Structure 1
Amino acid sequence: MTHIHNQILPQDTQIGVYEIKNATKIGSFDITYRAWNHHLKEHVEIQEYFPHELAIRTDDGLGVTEKSVVEKESFKHGLKVFLNQAEALVQIEHPNAVTAENILQFNGTAYLIKPCREGVPLSKLVQSPTSFSETEIKFILTSILNALQLIHDHKIVHSGIQPETIWLSKEGEPILVDFAGARLTIAARTARVADELAIGYAPAEQYEHADTPGPATDFYALGATMYFCMTHRKPAAAQTRKMALSEGEPDPLVPISELPGAAFSAELAQTLKWMLQLQYADRPQSAAEILALLKSEQADDRVTPTASALEPQDTVSDHPATKKYIWAGTITGIVALIAVGLWLSESTSDLFDNEPVSASETANQSSALTVAQPDQEVDPVEVSGNEEQLEKLENDLITESPTAASLPTAQPELVDTITIAPQSKTSQQLTAIDKSFSQSEESDIPEAAVDKNFINKHLNAAENAIKHERLTTPSSDNAYQYYQMVLAMEPDNAQALAGLQRIVDRYIQFIESTKHRAELDTARLYLQRAESVLPNDPKLQSIREELAARD
């Protein structure tokens, strides 16, 4: 693939308000760059649609066009798919799935703008000498399943989950990246589907063109990824398994429960076995099924100590304080693993994809389609088809922040979502907390466990975010996120609880303004966001009934 070095956009190229710094990855159908956002003064990633077998740079060195008339139809089809996936994902936002800031279309192609990724993929962490404990595996599994539940509700399938597409942030939060649906659809036009699939993680139906991937496709891939993390063994390819079983031979994928020295509960092993069934119909059909099974196991869940796990316990109590410490300890272990992973990844990775599916090929949670010209400043907009409405909102409602006019859509209820532990905690501090708590499983959180500096820092950050109307977006810097971090450490914190109500009240003001202008679609979007913060607020229920009556 080295022949496309001369197709990379040069340093200092301007894409709207973004300035290209360097290329970080070249995939079969795109090029990813690190860039600088002059508007918000921050680094971003830009993914450019560039199918190298079909496309070539125009004479000006910026544009992208098909190589010949023969490739024109496939090139245009791929661009349409790239944009369609962006528009389909615009309404999805979840703390365990990567976000995108914007998508631009000009120069004959499209650019997906994403925050710079910080952290380590699971593929790197598995290289470390320590292992994931059962609690850590369940933490990652539950977090990603929560994200998939929302994604699947929007009729979208990731289609490419593997160790490279689940990252752990520096704070230990699992994040699903690199949606592969668009890339695989494009690959089908060039007979390269099999080349783009991750062997060992792609289920059998993805190799059969007649089958359309569904939620159970993602569950197989997620199960295979967890299998790899638990065993340090790459799972046997689905096609190899299928052939062996058809010939009456044993399944090459040895169940976790049958591996020598396996230190995981029978319940978790059974869950993975269910997810890794070869036949689509034999697997779970929804994330809720798996989440319910994992939740039912927690009351009798045995924790296996590892180099990064909590102290051994006989059982996991349902007491809220107990769960808080378990997850805090889990985060401690994961962060320790991340430190090792970051050390392992200090050497520069290859620019080109060496794996079937690259860890930077992302067409995910994108913002709405925006048309821009070079040197034109483009503000991120997160609602497709409401540009005029959003311009009014920016002028009438929100004036302090260039990103405040973003209209995010609803997150799922955070019933099973696990909130990250404070990044200011050191491993020694959390270890001390765990020991203190272990003295009394049913006791309340000891005062020493509460990091007042952390709480004050995030309360101040939340106040600043509210001041600039960053209520629930962007995902990396919003008031709701900061209040949730505080409540994870101090559930009764009055300022944080009042802050959630302030967020909802502000959204209600926005809703009333848009209702008066008969912009009901925009009002509904604000309502969804408010309900994601306080779903049982009676004022929101009244507004929902009123909007429903006006349909």
Structure 2
Amino acid sequence: MKTYSHTLPVNEQIAGRYRIQGVLGEGGFGITYRAWDEHLERLVVIKEYLPGELGVRDSDTLTVIPRANREEDFGFGLKRYLDEAKSLARFQHPNIVRILDHLEAHGTAYIVMEYEEGETLAERLKRRRGEMGEEEILDLCLSLLNGLREVHKAGLLHRDIKPGNIFLRKSGEPLLIDFGAARHALGEHSKSISAIVSGGYAPPEQYSTRGKQGPFTDLYAIGAVLYELITGQAPLESVERSHHLTEGEPDPLSPAAQAGNGKAPDWLLTLNDRLLRVPSKERPQACDEVLREIRSHRVSREMPAVVSKFEEAPAVQGTRLVTEEERFGPDRTQWARERGPGLIAAGVLLAVSILGVTVYLLLGRSGERPAAIAGTQAAVIGLSSDGLGVRETVPPAIGAGDGLPPIVQAEAAPNEAEWYSRVSKIDTGFGYQLFLRKFPEGSFSEEARRRFNGSGP
């Protein structure tokens, strides 16, 4: 760990519970420590409120003291800091940092968070020295947007999304960290705007105390991160772009469609350019809008491969072909043949495709999945040579202690957070059902039930 000035020393105890082990980082708004929770005997991350412009630590007492004539600003920021912690503590989402505790000590405030092994996206990009692959980018965007959607639904904004504030677990799953609401409030209060924006990632409205902000503000930052992932270059500052456009000059930022040509599909480059529009009204206005677009393109691309896997899947024991007459009766079968065989086939294939895509994306893309898919208790549907048929699969009996359908047992399940992250990316009722059967009383079960009740197929 690096050595910093004005930090708490190693082995210093906070609130008689958290023992400092070292410094993880330091910024203009505070210091981040690794610490040991002596009550629960586990590692935690602790963020200390210590904006350098407003306060300083007494080297003898370790107490943080407001600078002269900045007492009011320091106190205002401290209150907002704790308010932000209380707001974030409500979230239990795999892509939002988990707040465990918040407290006051040493004349300042502390936020205690779950400790995770991993690195920031900024560190990952620096280590790799280049761009990320398309699948990795899409996975990252879906996870971030799912977490951000929950933040926006609670009436909050992140306000400081950038690679340094996206933490990647060892599994690759991202966490949104270091929210900027308290910094934004303090900046507006003290008129110190420079302390609350990250050049290249902040849209123009964040540079003015009168700028109207909303979900579209965070979506600009998502677009800036996406631009860097695709092109390998961080975008120009939005105020510079805004100045050129106001003067009637061309936008100095090369559009993603040009800078990322050949590095990502055209639809993703077009979406990236929409996210980076300087006028806020020209950007997507909500996470759901972006999520729908990404999912629709991803599913439409992968669906043919999934249907092919179903067609190639071997029949399992207890499977037989059911004719139209057996399934629907002679009257309905005659109507189907005369009025709309195409509609029936389309509907059936749509249903199996949705199920297939859900399973395919949820369990992964290994080539050894067809048998597991064929073993599901859902019907496996195909087109026979002499008409439409339904192959009804009788599922193997589930043991008393299993509690899971065979489709879930095909592969060792990841932990709950990773499972829920996968399920929320797919966002189908079938996916939430699988999750709830695996984790009926888990940390995310309540949210999964809510999403299931309002979800699609």
Please, what TM-score do these two structures have when normalized by structure 1?
0.59
Structure 1 position 222, deviation (Å): 0.4
**Counterpart for residue 145 of structure 1:** 145
Residue 492 and residue 93 in structure 1: after superposition, are their counterparts in 2 closer, same or farther (change >3 A)? Answer: closer
**Counterpart for residue 429 of structure 1:** none
Structure 1 position 134, deviation (Å): 2.5
Q: 2:20·2:35 contact (CA, 8 Å) conserved in 1? A: yes
Segments of structure 1 that go 5 or more residues without pairing to the other structure are 304-316, 330-432, 463-474, 508-528, 539-551
**Counterpart for residue 85 of structure 1:** 84
Deviations 1:141-180 (A, max 9, x none): 1111111111011111100111111222111212111101
Q: 2:204·2:238 contact (CA, 8 Å) conserved in 1? A: yes
Deviations 1:51-72 (A, max 9, x none): 222212347523222122x111
Alignment-mate amino acid for residue 534 of structure 1: R
Residue 318 and residue 130 in structure 1: after superposition, are their counterparts in 2 closer, same or farther (change >3 A)? Answer: farther
Alignment-mate amino acid for residue 186 of structure 1: L
**Counterpart for residue 23 of structure 1:** 23
Segments of structure 2 that go 5 or more residues without pairing to the other structure are 304-351, 377-404
**Counterpart for residue 275 of structure 1:** 275
Q: 2:28·2:195 contact (CA, 8 Å) conserved in 1? A: no
Distance in 2, matches of 1:256 and 1:109, equals 44
Residue 126 and residue 453 in structure 1: after superposition, are their counterparts in 2 closer, same or farther (change >3 A)? Answer: same
Residue 207 and residue 41 in structure 1: after superposition, are their counterparts in 2 closer, same or farther (change >3 A)? Answer: same
Structure 1 position 241, deviation (Å): 1.0
**Counterpart for residue 62 of structure 2:** 62
**Counterpart for residue 34 of structure 1:** 34
**Counterpart for residue 454 of structure 1:** 412
Q: 1:122·1:229 contact (CA, 8 Å) conserved in 2? A: no
**Counterpart for residue 319 of structure 2:** none
Deviations 1:318-337 (A, max 9, x none): 444445545666xxxxxxxx
Residue 448 and residue 171 in structure 1: after superposition, are their counterparts in 2 closer, same or farther (change >3 A)? Answer: farther
% identity of equivalent residues: 30
Distance in 2, matches of 1:484 and 1:142, equals 11
Higher strand share: 2
Q: 2:223·2:276 contact (CA, 8 Å) conserved in 1? A: yes
Structure 1 position 277, deviation (Å): 0.9
Alignment-mate amino acid for residue 281 of structure 2: A
Alignment-mate amino acid for residue 250 of structure 1: P
**Counterpart for residue 390 of structure 1:** none
Residue 245 and residue 301 in structure 1: after superposition, are their counterparts in 2 closer, same or farther (change >3 A)? Answer: farther
Q: 1:165·1:178 contact (CA, 8 Å) conserved in 2? A: yes
Alignment-mate amino acid for residue 103 of structure 1: H
Alignment-mate amino acid for residue 412 of structure 2: F
Distance in 2, matches of 1:48 and 1:255, equals 39
Deviates more, 1:58-67 or 1:72-81: 58-67
Q: 1:123·1:163 contact (CA, 8 Å) conserved in 2? A: yes
Deviations 1:272-306 (A, max 9, x none): 12111101122111111211222332343389xxx
Q: 2:144·2:176 contact (CA, 8 Å) conserved in 1? A: yes
Distance in 2, matches of 1:481 and 1:153, equals 18
Structure 1 position 221, deviation (Å): 0.4
**Counterpart for residue 317 of structure 2:** none
SS at match of 1:454: coil
Distance in 2, matches of 1:107 and 1:281, equals 45
Q: Equivalences for 1:484-503 in 2 at 5 Å?
A: 500-501=439-440, 503=441
**Counterpart for residue 434 of structure 1:** 366
Q: 2:363·2:411 contact (CA, 8 Å) conserved in 1? A: no
Distance in 2, matches of 1:202 and 1:169, equals 25
Q: 2:120·2:163 contact (CA, 8 Å) conserved in 1? A: yes
Residue 121 (1) aligns with residue 36 (2): no
Please, what TM-score do these two structures have when normalized by structure 2?
0.70
Q: 2:423·2:431 contact (CA, 8 Å) conserved in 1? A: no
Deviates more, 1:292-301 or 1:176-185: 292-301
**Counterpart for residue 11 of structure 2:** 12
Residue 537 and residue 189 in structure 1: after superposition, are their counterparts in 2 closer, same or farther (change >3 A)? Answer: closer
Structure 1 position 481, deviation (Å): 6.3
Distance in 1, matches of 2:234 and 2:179, equals 21
SS at match of 1:23: strand
Residue 112 (1) aligns with residue 111 (2): yes
Residue 204 and residue 25 in structure 1: after superposition, are their counterparts in 2 closer, same or farther (change >3 A)? Answer: same
Residue 454 and residue 111 in structure 1: after superposition, are their counterparts in 2 closer, same or farther (change >3 A)? Answer: same
Distance in 1, matches of 2:56 and 2:37, equals 26
Structure 1 position 441, deviation (Å): 12
Q: How many residues are paired up?
A: 372
Residue 214 and residue 484 in structure 1: after superposition, are their counterparts in 2 closer, same or farther (change >3 A)? Answer: closer
Residue 99 (1) aligns with residue 113 (2): no
Distance in 2, matches of 1:496 and 1:252, equals 46
Residue 260 and residue 137 in structure 1: after superposition, are their counterparts in 2 closer, same or farther (change >3 A)? Answer: closer
Q: Equivalences for 1:65-76 in 2 at 5 Å?
A: 65-68=65-68, 70-76=69-75
Structure 1 position 108, deviation (Å): 1.9
Residue 142 and residue 63 in structure 1: after superposition, are their counterparts in 2 closer, same or farther (change >3 A)? Answer: same
SS at match of 2:156: coil
Distance in 2, matches of 1:535 and 1:119, equals 30
Alignment-mate amino acid for residue 277 of structure 1: R
Residue 534 (1) aligns with residue 441 (2): no
SS at match of 1:101: strand
**Counterpart for residue 251 of structure 2:** 251
Q: Equivalences for 1:143-542 in 2 at 5 Å?
A: 143-259=143-259, 261-301=261-301, 318-322=353-357, 324-326=359-361, 434-437=366-369, 454-455=412-413, 500-501=439-440, 503=441, 531-535=446-450
Alignment-mate amino acid for residue 449 of structure 2: L
Distance in 1, matches of 2:144 and 2:433, equals 30
Distance in 1, matches of 2:38 and 2:61, equals 22
Whichever of the two has the greater Rg, that structure is 2
The runs of 4+ residues in structure 1 deviating greater than 6 Å are 439-442, 447-453, 480-485, 491-496
Deviations 1:82-118 (A, max 9, x none): 1121222232221111111100113321110012232
Q: 1:32·1:48 contact (CA, 8 Å) conserved in 2? A: yes
Q: 2:228·2:235 contact (CA, 8 Å) conserved in 1? A: yes
Structure 1 position 443, deviation (Å): 5.8
* CA-atom RMSD in angstroms: 4.0
Distance in 2, matches of 1:62 and 1:121, equals 29
Relative contact order higher in (CA < 8 Å, ≥ 6 apart): 1
Alignment-mate amino acid for residue 270 of structure 2: Q
Structure 1 position 126, deviation (Å): 2.5
